[in-house]
Amino acid sequence: MQSVVIAGYARSPFHLANKGALARVRPDDLAAQVIRGLIAKTGVEPSDIEDIIVGCAFPEGEQGLNVARLIGLLADLPISVGGMTVNRFCGSSMSSIQIAMGQIAIGAGEVFVCAGVESMSRVPMMGFNPLPNPALAKKSAAYMGMGETAENVATKYQIPRAEQEALAVESQKRAAAARDAGKLIDEIVPIETKGGTVTEDGTIRAETTAEGLAGLKPAFDANGSVTAGTSSPLTDGASAVLVTTEEYARAHGLPILARIKSVAISGCAPETMGLGPILSSQKAMERAGISAADLDVVELNEAFASQALACIKDLGLDLAKVNIDGGAIAIGHPLGATGARIVGKAASLLKREGGKYALASQCIGGGQGIATVLEAVE
């Protein structure tokens, strides 16, 4: 099989839904700006792109229809470039990367833009007209709210509130430090809005303290331990990575960040969906022939502190290597965009930190996990 690489990564600033700087920006326009930025940054020839594969968790309204094709047209890409929209909830844009890898493996193209977008301001959770299957709702937790699943994980793993809050404080601290040191500038595409140009994340709360978090009320269960401060916020944002064969990247002088070593998908109980990264990461590492001890960089999506801590514990991860520049509690979690962000971020960190192996993994609503192992390229 041909070597497949991440040859570029870009994202929009991430902002709080409903009240942030991107709340009045259409998601298709947002993603188009990010893709234009990615192409300009990498220098890839647009006519060589086979397909744009866009992940979106709630592909309705302004991010509905086949939004990938529409984004390609908005980005002024050649008419020959295709577009496909993918939905695996939170894992959507990581799935777009894995699909591109599969297309390359069967000889169906060499260059793919894999993106994700979610406007949680303009399209509500569950979409505009949710219609759960009554029979499934009676026998399964498939429709359970994500906050409830976080409480279930906290109970199952006996993760105290103080431990969750410590992780949240650390996430905010790392993200603020990365921002202040200019380490996020290169990955962010400035977004033009009617209110001006947005250049920085609006989700990071550098002032977060353990004392402040301790004063918050539980967000999902009056007797629970999960609060807004230990949960990823509702977020607007878009991200994109350039996926190509290694041969193409070298021939065209593209900035190779990392090689995709292995991938995996797994299922888990919907009521503890936050544990999804455990099996998917184990499968991906086994396929790559490595163990957790071999990892130099880990991007584990912090949907909630409780589930991130449970996954870190069961996978035996070194917390110092997990979310080096902060996780989703601080950066934000625009559902469909997160997968491409954490894969692109893991690849970028692998290059920046000089490591050999990286893992990107996330949980998925309804009870799934997805993982990608990356390898440094000499």
Which positions are catalytic? 90, 333, 363
The answer for residues whose C-beta is within 8 angstroms of residue 195's C-beta and 6 or more apart is 21, 24
Residue type, position 112, single letter: F
Report how far residue 187's alpha carbon sits from residue 354's, in angstroms, rounded to the nearest whole number: 18
Beta bridge partners of 260: 374
DSSP 8-state code for residue 88 = B
Report how far residue 30's alpha carbon sits from residue 231's, in angstroms, rounded to the nearest whole number: 24
What is 118-176 written as a DSSP string? EETTTS-TT-SS----HHHHHH--TT--HHHHHHHHHHHTT--HHHHHHHHHHHHHHHH
Alpha carbon distances (Å) from 347 to 202, 228, 338 = 23, 29, 14
The answer for residues whose C-beta is within 8 angstroms of residue 377's C-beta and 6 or more apart is 5, 246, 256, 257, 258, 259
Alpha carbon distances (Å) from 41 to 8, 124, 240, 255 = 8, 32, 12, 9
Please list, residue by residue across 247-259, b when 16 or more beta carbons sit within 10 angstroms of its beta carbon and e when fewer do.
ebbeebebbbbbb
